[in-house]
Amino acid sequence: MPDSCGFCGIESVPDQQTLRSARIAELLRQNGPPLDAEKPALFAAIIEGPEKLADIEKKIAEAQQVLEGLLRERELVKLQLADAKTLLHPIRSLSDEIFHEIFSWCVYDWGYIRASAGCLSAESLDPQRPPWTLTRVSYRWHDVALSSSRLWSTVIFDSCRYSELKVTDRTCSFRLSTQLARARECDLTIFIRSSSSSDLHNHPAFALLEASAYRWKSLYANMPPRSLAAFSGNAFPRLCDLVVKVKARSPSAQRSMIVDTFESAPSLQTFRTISDADPCRILRLPWSSLTSYTCADASSEHNWAVMERLTSVRDLFLYFRNYTASPDAPIPMPSVRRVGMQEMAKFCSGAISRVFDSLVLSSLTCLNICFPEDRVVHFPKTAAPLIHLTKLGISCDFLHDQENVINFIEFLRTTTRIEDLRLGAPTLPDSLLLGMTVVADQTPVLPSLRILRFYPGLPSFNAIPFFRMLESRYKGDARTGKVKKELCDADIKIEEDYAENHPPPRVLLQELRFKRVPKPSFDKAEEIMRWDEICDELKVIYESM
């Protein structure tokens, strides 16, 4: 096979040996003369050859000129095509506002830092990461990136990482000053981590952090108490969210410190501890002004001392790691609307139930409880009915022990106003489905239930008991007090004194929600038909996030 030119595609000239006739090739392989009859043709080739060769060379030159012109034209068309696609690309027509929004997704925000600070793998001063890299793509991207102060408003300062990477203090200070200048007067989200073996206030960048303190809106501080105390004396007029983790290896002298750095933060609303409750003991905060409180070790006595002062908290999140001692008297928390609780270890079993016995949550509307999968669950036992509680989330393993199902059903009988129930369980046993089924002439469990959610995955269940439970809730029955559609959709205001003495009216199930799961599949034709009928009656929603 002849080779072809990689540039123009024309096949190369064949080898001369393949162009000769067989007779000429035979004569060239020996020393004898050609025959007399062959000589005239050979003499003619000698005489006419130069002229023919000149004509051919001329034609080749002309063809080469045409080919070169076509090749240039081809490259021009290809270039014009590529340029047109580039110039007409939709990204060129995007406004600066859209670029600002796209760029904002390239950097960490407070929600991610607050939830995942323990696994952060980067810091905001790395020039090989956004937003720094966005300034080196094009002139327009450079201008857009620098014009967005919000893009530079998240500062992740990790002195421990700088030491590991051998980044000089001078380099850190220069990059930090550049980022703070580009953030201008924008509210700042700050993450600071320093080791217990070094003092942050001795770092050259400390002065820059301190000078920007009045712009801090959200702060995640992972440092020893002495470093926290170094910021004392600064004003924090914008600080709304505070997360504190005290270094576990802090010297005992530091653990006995009292830090008043944030005591006068007038806008502080949210506070969270990480790993333990030591920040509750060390810090002096405007506790009575907080609206959201999260404690990583609610079993600690330091947590109880603080909770007595949380007079304005609406959102309360407690994690239990040890056995929980109860306070001397129940703590009234009339402002609390939303509560989340989770037992983290085996030896704190029953902590959630004991805490509920120690709190008076007269205005509670939303409750989320999470139990590990290795225990008999103790659900809260409330002395007074939670007449305002309308949303309930439960995560536990009902198959671990039959007592879990019994205790859960008994708990549901005390929460008669629940309209939205979220279940997180690997399996829904038949006994649980039977307990949630509405039966004629019996007081139903969850008579006000409108929305039933399953999160985070699709639990395993037997189809028939599951279908029977759903059908009993959306079909209703005259003997159980079936209500009209208008009543289900009405916004009924229930007075407290009436609600305490009268059961709520029966309403019908309206929505079934699955989160991050594929659609349920069934093998039997009867089950498929029955599920289709349920989907026709209920609003079945599959949520991706």
Can you tell me the distance from the alpha carbon of 379 to that of 369, in angstroms, rounded to the nearest whole number? 9
Helix 139-147 to helix 96-104 angle (10° resolution) is: 70
Tell me the pLDDT tens digit for each residue of 293-347. 999 988 888 888 899 999 999 999 999 887 766 777 888 999 999 999 998 876 6
Read off the tokens for 304: 């109880």
Q: What is the mean pLDDT of residues 460-486?
A: 72
Residue type at 26?
A: E
Residue 444: partners with Cβ closer than 8 Å, 6 or more residues away: 438, 480, 506
Residue type at 121?
A: S
Query: What are the Cα distances from residue 84, in Å, to 42, 70, 89, 90, 114?
Result: 59, 21, 8, 12, 45
Is residue 19 predicted with pLDDT exceeding 80? no
Quote the pLDDT of residue 239. Answer: 97
Can you tell me the distance from the alpha carbon of 8 to that of 26, in angstroms, rounded to the nearest whole number? 36
Tell me the pLDDT tens digit for each residue of 153-163. 999 998 878 87
Residue 137: partners with Cβ closer than 8 Å, 6 or more residues away: none
Quote the pLDDT of residue 455. Answer: 85
Query: What are the Cα distances from residue 254, in Å, to 199, 232, 262, 273?
Result: 12, 15, 17, 17
In the three-class reduction of DSSP (H, G, I as helix; E, B as strand; rest coil), residue 482 is classed as: coil
Give the pLDDT band (50/70/90) at residue 115.
confident
Nearest to 541 by CA among 520, 521, 526: 520
For 440-452, give one letter per residue: b (16+ CB within 10 A) or e: eeeebbbbbbbbb
Query: What are the Cα distances from residue 489, in Å, to 51, 180, 419, 448, 470?
Result: 102, 52, 12, 12, 19
The H-or-E segment that residue 341 falls in is: strand 338-343
Give the pLDDT band (50/70/90) at residue 148.
very high
The total of other beta-carbon atoms located within 10 Å of residue 338's CB is 16
Report all structural domains of the chain as residue ranges with CATH numbers, in order of start: 16-31+42-87 (no CATH), 95-285 (no CATH), 365-545 (3.80.10)
Is residue 357 predicted with pLDDT exceeding 50? yes
Q: What is the mean pLDDT of residues 185-196?
A: 89
Quote the pLDDT of residue 248. Answer: 55
In the three-class reduction of DSSP (H, G, I as helix; E, B as strand; rest coil), residue 189 is classed as: strand
Quote the pLDDT of residue 466. Answer: 93
Nearest to 332 by CA among 315, 354, 310, 347: 310
Q: What is the mean pLDDT of residues 76-88?
A: 94
Read off the tokens for 121: 């793998």
Is residue 486 predicted with pLDDT exceeding 60? no
What is the largest distance, in Å, between two alpha-carbon atoms of the chain?
A: 135
Residue 461: partners with Cβ closer than 8 Å, 6 or more residues away: 427, 428, 433
Q: What is the mean pLDDT of residues 67-95?
A: 92
Can you tell me the distance from the alpha carbon of 53 to that of 465, in angstroms, rounded to the nearest whole number? 96
In the three-class reduction of DSSP (H, G, I as helix; E, B as strand; rest coil), residue 391 is classed as: strand
**Between residues 421 and 377, which one has the greater pLDDT?**
421
Is residue 464 predicted with pLDDT exceeding 90? yes
**Between residues 113 and 182, which one has the greater pLDDT?**
182
Quote the pLDDT of residue 4. Answer: 63
